[in-house]
Amino acid sequence: MGKYHESYEICLNIEKMLNEISVINCPFMLAVKNNIASCLDNMGKRNEALKIYYQIEKIQVKLLGTNHSSLLITKCHIALILNKIGKHSKALEIYHGVQKIQTEILGIDHLSTLTTKHYISICLNDMGKYNEALEIAYQVEKMQVEIFGTNHPILLNTKINIALCLKCLGKYKQALDIFCHIEIIQTEILGIHHPLVLMTKNDIAICLSAMGNYKEALKIYTDVEDIQTKILGCKHPSVLTTKNNIANCLDDTGNTKKALEIYYYVENILKEIFELDHPLLLATKNNIAGILCKMKKNSEALEIYYHVEEIQTKTLEESHPSLLATKLNIAACLKNIGNYKEALEIDYQIEKIQSTVLEINHPAILITKHNIAFCFNLMGKYSESLELYRFIEKKQCEILENNHPSILTTKDNIAICLKNMGEYNEALEIFYHVENKRNEIFEAKHPSMLNTKFNIAYCLNRIGKYSDALEIYYEIEKMQTEICETNDSSILDTKLSIGYCLNLMGKYSDALKLYRFIENKQSEILENNHPSILTTKDNIATCLKFMGKYYEALEIFYHVENKRNEIFEAKHPSMLNTKCNIAYCLNRIGKYSDALVIYYEIEKMQNESCETNDSSILDTKLSIGYCLNLMGKYSDALKLYRFIENKQSEILEN
């Protein structure tokens, strides 16, 4: 029923009574302690639970010896919790020890031995050793079929484990087929309302969601929630977990407001039934912060993340996956506000901790390396970013199949790096490859599919294929409109790109009209000086600039610069871009000296954060040369242009 606190209190009272009558180490007392530890585990107090299990283990060794079945069960409980708190290697060591004893005493095909093998498979899966985990799961399944036949209920847990392994390997369709098969059998045996059936339905929905089939996933989640609420009540942890899944799905479809509303509802109930350090409550807080981050409410998001981190630091070890995940979220939020150095420092700290407890190829370490590479990219350190992404890709190829979603994500990031370096044709080649492979896994409307299409359109834009780019942007917009709300930020971002494309095609009036439409929509849902509104204003001013309305454009650019200055660091790319536009306009109205001062200021900041041969620095130098030329300083301009030419030749030769 999920009433862990009540159960915990009852068990404590029983333990107290047994202590009063000096019944200390009898089997019944150990069973009570076992129940207390189980309650603590369900309450999220894993370290306290672990402490009790170790006490039980110590007593059992004295009373029963090292090979007794009760002791082996306790060892498995210890390993299970160690695995939950991220100590996979320690857990695996215990499981292997238990399996060895069970094989010697009971035989290789005994139910207990097979159960331990099952947990070894789960542990390996959590360690990112998916193929090894899958191999063991198939071995267990084969032995179970030989002993129990093909339709025995005991096989279902193994099949679930196989499906979870396949899901981690990116084989969503195969995993989905197994989950659907399990659901049919469970429903026949247990009935539609049984918790195990509902758990399988949740797994099916998670799989569908991963494939981008959000509508079907949402329908299943909603059905599960209705059944759970009728049986368990609205405050049961299982119901709240399903609500969290519904919110996740809504968030993926761009319905962030509704998702946030559900997260807040879940958070309020969790506060009533659990203590502040419960994992489910902290996970919900992290989800809330995640949405606030997407909405560009970075200060609010950071406040929540820091609060969660503070609680987790008190209750968890520094290497616990949940604590490290929160730190990763903090770093991501800092990147959003342009605080790259602090973000990078956190990412390095996480990587260092992970390296002490995980193998170098573990997915968690590779994700952290991804974040470091992403930060390099944002800082304009494209070569370092590219080198790291290629290292990650190599490691992923050693442990995953060729077209695993994680490998495709890395390839996508490699292409983004090349795109930022101006290598549009090379980037396009990779983007097209990624799009084709993702098409075999995901539905057309999956966010990763739309994101790749977006990048393809961007590259086409840059190589002057405006019509082709525009066609793709319209295609993306159409699909987003089918799955997202009208005012969703992703749709408005696509409209911005359409406007940018129209601008490049010289259709300034159409672009300006679209930008003003976007600004109105953003003003309805966002605060006045929200970064997204400032981006739109920046685009409006850029449009006016191309239309020759320099004074009107300057007024907006100065406004944007002032407001961005309150949010971002001076070196943030958006800040430098606006300064560049201001200098351009000043140049056009004959204020060459003022423009030159700004260009030198931009160049100085770029030199501090980018590589010497970075294209953005060379672009700024070109603008400086153009300015010097207009001022009649032809020799200085010529000298600078020749310097730029040499640098460009070095880059192109390499």
Confidence of residue 614 (pLDDT cuts 50, 70, 90): low
Residue 487: per-residue pLDDT: 62
* Nearest in space to 277 (alpha carbons), one of 310, 237, 229: 310
At residue 613, does pLDDT exceed 80?
A: no
At residue 190, does pLDDT exceed 60?
A: yes
The label of the residue with tokens 């209190």 reads: 9
Amino acid at 340: Y
Confidence of residue 58 (pLDDT cuts 50, 70, 90): very high
At residue 102, does pLDDT exceed 80?
A: yes
Other CB atoms within a 10 A radius of the CB of residue 482 amount to 10
Structure tokens at 487: 């005012």
Residue 595: per-residue pLDDT: 94
At residue 132, does pLDDT exceed 60?
A: yes
HSE, CB side, 13 Å, CA atoms: give it for residue 329: 30
Q: Are 453 and 475 in contact (CB under 8 A)?
A: yes
Query: What does the alpha-carbon distance between residue 104 and residue 66 come to, in Å, rounded to a whole number?
Result: 13
User: How buried is residue 65: exposed, middle or buried, by Cβ count under 10 Å (0-12/13-18/19+)?
Assistant: exposed
540-565 mean pLDDT = 95
Per the prediction, the chain carries an average pLDDT of 90
Residue 198: per-residue pLDDT: 94
638-650 burial, b if ≥16 CB within 10 A, otherwise e? Answer: eebbeebeebeee
At residue 511, does pLDDT exceed 90?
A: yes
74-81 mean pLDDT = 94
At residue 107, does pLDDT exceed 70?
A: yes
* Nearest in space to 142 (alpha carbons), one of 169, 108, 105, 181: 108
Q: Are 620 and 602 in contact (CB under 8 A)?
A: yes
Residue 24: per-residue pLDDT: 66
C-alpha angle 88/36/326, rounded to 5°? 40
* Nearest in space to 332 (alpha carbons), one of 315, 318, 319, 350: 350
Query: What does the alpha-carbon distance between residue 238 and residue 231 come to, in Å, rounded to a whole number?
Result: 11
Q: pLDDT tens digits, residue range 395-409?
A: 998 878 778 888 999
337-356 mean pLDDT = 92
Residue 611: per-residue pLDDT: 60
SS (H, E, C) 19-60: HHCCCCCCHHHHHHHHHHHHHHHHCCCHHHHHHHHHHHHHHH
List Cα–Cα distances, 605 to 128, 405, 601, 637, in angstroms: 41, 37, 6, 21
Give percent of the chain with pLDDT exceeding 70: 97
Confidence of residue 486 (pLDDT cuts 50, 70, 90): low
HSE, CB side, 13 Å, CA atoms: give it for residue 290: 19
At residue 2, does pLDDT exceed 60?
A: no
- Of residues 320 and 333, more confidence is placed in 333
SS (H, E, C) 53-81: HHHHHHHHHHHHCCCCHHHHHHHHHHHHH
Residue 612: per-residue pLDDT: 57
- Of residues 230 and 615, more confidence is placed in 230
Residue 5: per-residue pLDDT: 73
HSE, CB side, 13 Å, CA atoms: give it for residue 280: 26
At residue 419, does pLDDT exceed 70?
A: yes
Report the SS3 class of residue 614: coil
Q: Are 2 and 33 in contact (CB under 8 A)?
A: no
- Of residues 296 and 391, more confidence is placed in 391
DSSP string, 258-293: HHHHHHHHHHHHHHHHS-TT-HHHHHHHHHHHHHHH
At residue 582, does pLDDT exceed 90?
A: yes
Query: What does the alpha-carbon distance between residue 2 and residue 241 come to, in Å, rounded to a whole number?
Result: 12
Residue 126: per-residue pLDDT: 86
Confidence of residue 220 (pLDDT cuts 50, 70, 90): very high
Q: pLDDT tens digits, residue range 355-414?
A: 988 878 888 899 999 999 999 998 888 889 999 999 999 999 887 877 888 899 999 999
75: CB partners within 8 A, 6+ apart: 57, 94, 97, 98
Query: What does the alpha-carbon distance between residue 643 and residue 283 come to, in Å, rounded to a whole number?
Result: 53
Q: pLDDT tens digits, residue range 3-48?
A: 677 788 888 888 788 777 765 677 788 888 889 989 888 877 888 8
CA 181 to chain CA centroid, nearest Å: 29
| Max intra-chain CA distance, the chain | 101
Query: What does the alpha-carbon distance between residue 3 and residue 294 come to, in Å, rounded to a whole number?
Result: 35
Query: What does the alpha-carbon distance between residue 41 and residue 2 come to, in Å, rounded to a whole number?
Result: 12
Confidence of residue 417 (pLDDT cuts 50, 70, 90): very high
Residue 86: per-residue pLDDT: 79
Structure tokens at 453: 């299409």
Other CB atoms within a 10 A radius of the CB of residue 299 amount to 11
At residue 1, does pLDDT exceed 60?
A: no
HSE, CB side, 13 Å, CA atoms: give it for residue 510: 12
Q: Are 80 and 108 in contact (CB under 8 A)?
A: no
Residue 189: per-residue pLDDT: 87
Lowest mean per-residue pLDDT among 144-153, 221-230, 284-293, 457-466: 144-153
Confidence of residue 224 (pLDDT cuts 50, 70, 90): very high
Residue 187: per-residue pLDDT: 92
Residue 22: per-residue pLDDT: 65
What is the torsional sign of CA 477, 480, 486, 487?
A: negative
At residue 526, does pLDDT exceed 80?
A: no
Q: pLDDT tens digits, residue range 227-269?
A: 999 998 998 889 999 999 999 999 887 788 899 999 999 999 9
Residue 3: per-residue pLDDT: 66
At residue 275, does pLDDT exceed 90?
A: no
Query: What does the alpha-carbon distance between residue 553 and residue 543 come to, in Å, rounded to a whole number?
Result: 8
Residue 525: per-residue pLDDT: 76
* Nearest in space to 169 (alpha carbons), one of 156, 178, 180, 182: 178
Lowest mean per-residue pLDDT among 87-91, 416-420, 635-639: 87-91
